[in-house]
Amino acid sequence: MNISKKIVVLGHFGVGKTSLIRRFVENSFSNDYRVSIGVHILKKKVEVSVDETVSLIIWDLEGTDNIAAIRQSYLLGTHGVIYVFDVTRPITFQAIEEDLTALKSKVRNVPMKVVGNKLDMVVEEEVKKVLLENKISFDYLTSAKTGDKVNDLFEQLAKMLTLDAKQI
Amino acid sequence: MLNKFKEEFKKHKLQFISTDLNGIVLETDQTLLPIEKNVDIGTIHPFFFNLSEVLNIEQEKAVFHCIQLGETVEELTVDIEIYRKEDHFLIVIENLTEHYLNYQSLAQSRNETSIDSELVLLKNLELQERERFKNEFIQNFSHELRNPLTNIIALTNILQRSRLTEEQEGILDVLKNATSDLKLMLEDILSIAMIAKGKLALNPSVFNFEQFLEFLRLTYTARAKEKGLDFSISTDSAIPNYLEGDRLRLLQVLTNLCDNAIKYTEKGNVKLQVKLNQKRANTVSLRFSVQDTGLGISTENLDRIFESFEQLGRTEGAGLGLAIVKGLLQLMGSTIAIESTVEEGSHFYFDLKLNFPLHVPEIPNIDNARLKTVRKEKYSVLLVEDNEQVQTSLFKSLIESGEFFIDVVSDGALVMQEIIDSGYDIILMDVNLPNIKGDQLTKVIRSFPFKNIKNIPIVGITANSFEEQLRAYKKAGMNAVLTKPFDELELIKTMRRLLK
Ligand SMILES: Nc1nc2c(ncn2[C@@H]2O[C@H](COP(=O)(O)OP(=O)(O)OP(=O)(O)O)[C@@H](O)[C@H]2O)c(=O)[nH]1
Ligand SMILES: [Mg+2]
């Protein structure tokens, strides 16, 4: 059985959305920053169990510090959301609560993963402490550069999506 | 003009596609994407994947802006409109690559600038945090040092009054010098930390400028002589005799500069010069300069010499003097300038604006000799202090002066009873008592209904030297507050003043 699921990846600009996707899809990384505009869509098949694959249709959105301003059409029919912030730039996670609330009102009832990226640039324990102090909960801390937890992130989400599909 | 516009318009090429509700292409042209009939449009580009599901629940039309169909923006970036009809989809793709390329380069520079300034801000915050931590640490640390130092000074003074052999006296002299050096250094460190934290306030008053310079001349002529140097002061007769400013801080600046000059000069002379730049209604601008014929400072070191703690290790022995000078002058609205040539000497100078009084004021002469006059009557003192060392040394020096009877209480809670029972002429109180804080205690005393209790003079003793704290203590009702380490003479003088 081959099903396909649409996920959108969003968050502030420069947090590494494109890099995470590129790491997952092509297993490559670049230090250069090429700002994304609008949306770029990629596809990748993920094996969720021995005889089951799912095609992830990944929408790489233009970064924004204003979730409310995201074009509604990009979110149409999405099955999952990845919200990325940058652990080295507090401005990208300071208002995360409001961002996620705004987001949940735009895409209802779909699984959402919160990801702190660029873990390679910091000491994990310290970042965890800071995030805890600021009461910021997250699902993954990743590094697009080293690839740390990137596959886990997408594969876990893919599994959740297929489970969801079965339950319906 | 119109032609150009038409050209532009023509470039916005459109492709029309129709598919059935499963996304199988019914009809299409090939303007932008090479699409054939009967293929699943989802295989052409992932954007079209699951088209039916995307639009299933939605209304009959959806517009998608800025969809990047190629690998990069340059390749093909479009707007897509999808209409949902009864039994098919109608898709219109408009090529807006050029338009979006412009937008991309705009967004590129906007985002880069924004992230850059974010990082600068972060860096600054980090620096500030480090600076704050450092100053806090230093300040706490020097406070800790003050208590034992106060004891040493007090006990040394007591020792000096006992009968000593000549050799012992010599040793004691060395001890006294060493402790007073230590006290000065401690004050330097605290000054820096306080300047850095913006906690140091200026305390301007009218002072005799002639005497001020005379004091410097006496001090440094002697000191220069020890090293075989000449020290001279030249001044301008047009400078008013009395000036208004923070005499102590100005003294601190000039002594630091002169100390340094003498320290780094092996032969030749050190000159302190004060010149009048300008005189207005009641302000003068003065140029102070300290010039030596010493080692000099190399260009690459010039920037560094004014920096504080970090530099301690590198510019060996230079200490904190110049950092203090810089900080204090900043506080007084001035900046230090320096010209220096290696092996020839250095020239430090700054301009300072000071007020001067139009009428010569009466300034009381502080006369140490008066301290020696023994009084007839004795006063009773309540000493409230929990630290035994401080207790002993204060007790001893007060007894030695022969003017006081002393009772000691170490627990703040017992103080009230003691005061009511015995009645005292003056209370000496450590602000940091265990159970109750000295300032709270003072408030309680001040609110008492009986005059003889309510009005007892209270002298606070504290290791805290924050201006605002000191003010708060006074506001609580303390008549005076002494900051550790203080000299016993200072204490006795203060007590006498309050007992008058
Ligand atoms: N060290 C490190 N750098 C990263 C990582 N992820 C991304 N970067 C860098 O961060 C910059 C931005 O990465 P992008 O992936 O373009 O960020 P984005 O979120 O897609 O940015 P927008 O498209 O503008 O929203 C690039 O210079 C990347 O090389 C990471 O995990 N570690
Ligand atoms: Mg991107």
Give the ligand at the shortest distance from the Cα of A149.
Answer: 1
Task: Please check whether residues B332 and B383 belong to one and the same domain.
Answer: no
To the nearest whole number, what is the mean pLDDT of chain B? 82
Q: What is the CATH number of the domain that holds B19?
A: 3.40.1840.10
Q: Are residues B417 and B297 in the same domain?
A: no
User: What pLDDT sits at residue A132?
Assistant: 93
- Bin B319: left if φ > 0, else alpha if -120 < ψ < 50, else beta: left
Is B195 part of any domain? no
**Would you say residue A167 lies in a domain?**
no
Both B397 and B476 in one domain: the answer is yes
CATH number, domain containing residue B286: 3.30.565.10
**Do B296 and B268 share a structural domain?**
yes
Asked whether the beta carbons of B407 and B380 are under 8 A apart, the reply is yes
Q: Are residues B372 and B351 in the same domain?
A: no
- d(CA B124, CA B120) in angstroms, rounded, equals 6
- How far is Cα B182 from Cα B177, in angstroms, rounded to an integer? 8
> What is residue A1's predicted lDDT score, i.e. its pLDDT?
54
Query: Which pLDDT score is estimated for A85?
Result: 97
pLDDT number for residue B377: 66
Number of domains in chain A: 1
Who has greater pLDDT, B379 or A100? A100
**A57 C-alpha to ligand 1 centroid (Å):** 20
Rounded to an integer, the average pLDDT of B85-111 is: 93
Nearest residue of B to residue A37 by CA position?
Answer: B104
Is residue A68 domain-resident?
A: yes
Give domain status of residue B393, yes or no.
Answer: yes
Q: What is the CATH number of the domain that holds A11?
A: 3.40.50.300
End position of a domain, from candidates B43, B66, B95: B95
Residue pairs between chains A and B whose CB atoms are closer than 8 Å: 78
Q: Is the pLDDT of residue B371 over 90?
A: no
Identify the pLDDT of residue B370. Answer: 36
Neighbours of A58 (CB within 10 A): 24
The tokens for A121 are: 């640039």
CA of A60 to the centre of ligand 2 (A): 7
Residue B276 sits in the same domain as residue B408: no
Model confidence, pTM: 0.58
Q: Which helix (H) or strand (E) holds B70?
A: none
The answer as to whether B167 is a domain residue is no
User: Are residues B460 and B336 part of one domain?
Assistant: no
Measured in Å, residue B26 CA sits from the centre of ligand 2 at 34
Looking at the structure, do residues B294 and B436 belong to the same domain, yes or no?
no
CA A119 to ligand 1: nearest atom: 31
For residues B329 and B237, membership in a common domain is answered with yes
Q: What CATH number is given to the structural domain containing B395?
A: 3.40.50.2300
Listed residue (B431, B369, B372) closest to B402, CA to CA: B372
- Give residue B41's pLDDT: 92
Within a domain: residue B142? no
Q: Is residue A58 part of a domain?
A: yes
Lowest mean pLDDT among B72-86, B176-190, B423-437: B176-190
Same domain, B396 and B456: yes
Ligand 1 binding residues, C-beta < 6 A: A 13-19, 30-33, 35-36, 62-63, 117-118, 120-121, 143-145; B 111
Say how far apart CA B409 and CA B421 lie, in whole Å. 13
Contact flag B46-A42 (C-beta cutoff 8 Å): yes
Point out the domain boundary residue: B47, B80, B95. Answer: B95
- Decide if B322 is inside a domain: yes
Mutate to test the interface with B, among A6, A9, A41, A58 (most CBs of B within 10 A): A41
pLDDT surpasses 80 at B7: no
What mean pLDDT is predicted for residues B84-103? Answer: 92
pLDDT tens across B422-440, in order?
Answer: 678 899 988 887 767 788 8
The count of domains in chain B is: 3
Q: Which residue among B49, B62, B112 sits closest to A76, beta carbon to beta carbon?
A: B62
Are B296 and B391 within one domain? Answer: no
Max mean pLDDT among B179-183, B328-332, B462-466 falls in B328-332
pLDDT grade, residue B249 (50/70/90)?
Answer: confident
Query: Quick one: pLDDT at residue B364?
Result: 47
Measured between CA atoms, the residue of chain A closest to residue B106 is A35
Tens digits of residue pLDDT in B285-340: 999 999 999 988 887 777 667 765 444 333 444 467 787 888 889 889 999 999 98
Residue B390 lies in a domain: yes
Count Cβ neighbours within 10 Å for each residue of B303-342 and write b for 16 or more, e otherwise: eebbbbbebeeeeeebbbbbbbbbbbbebbebebeeebee
Domain range for B59 is 14-95
Three-state SS for B265-319 is CCCCEEEEEEEEEEECCCEEEEEEEEEECCCCCCHHHHCHHHCCHHHHCCCCCCC
Verify that B349 and B376 share a domain, yes or no: no
- Whether the CB of B58 is below 8 Å from some CB of chain A: the reply is yes
Structural domain for A107, as ranges: 2-162
Domain assignment present for residue B38? The answer is yes
**Could you give the 3-state DSSP secondary structure of residue B245?**
strand
Angle at B469 between CA B200 and CA B433, to 5 degrees: 135
Which of B95, B124, B139 is the endpoint of a domain? B95
Ligand 1 atom nearest the C-alpha of A60 is 20
pLDDT score at B420 = 72
> Which residue, among B368, B372, B286, has the nearest Cα to B332 in the 3D structure?
B286
Can you tell me which atom of ligand 1 is nearest the CA of A15?
19
The answer to whether B104 contacts chain A (CB < 8 Å) is yes
**Residue pLDDT tens, chain A, 168 long:** 568 999 999 999 999 999 999 999 999 999 999 999 999 999 999 998 888 899 999 999 999 989 888 999 999 889 999 999 999 999 999 999 999 999 999 998 899 999 999 999 999 999 999 999 999 999 999 999 999 999 999 999 999 998 866 654
A106/B contact by beta carbon, under 8 A: no
Shortest alpha-carbon distance between residue B25 and chain A (Å)? 20
Residue located via tokens 């074009």:
A71
Whether B151 is covered by a domain: the verdict is no
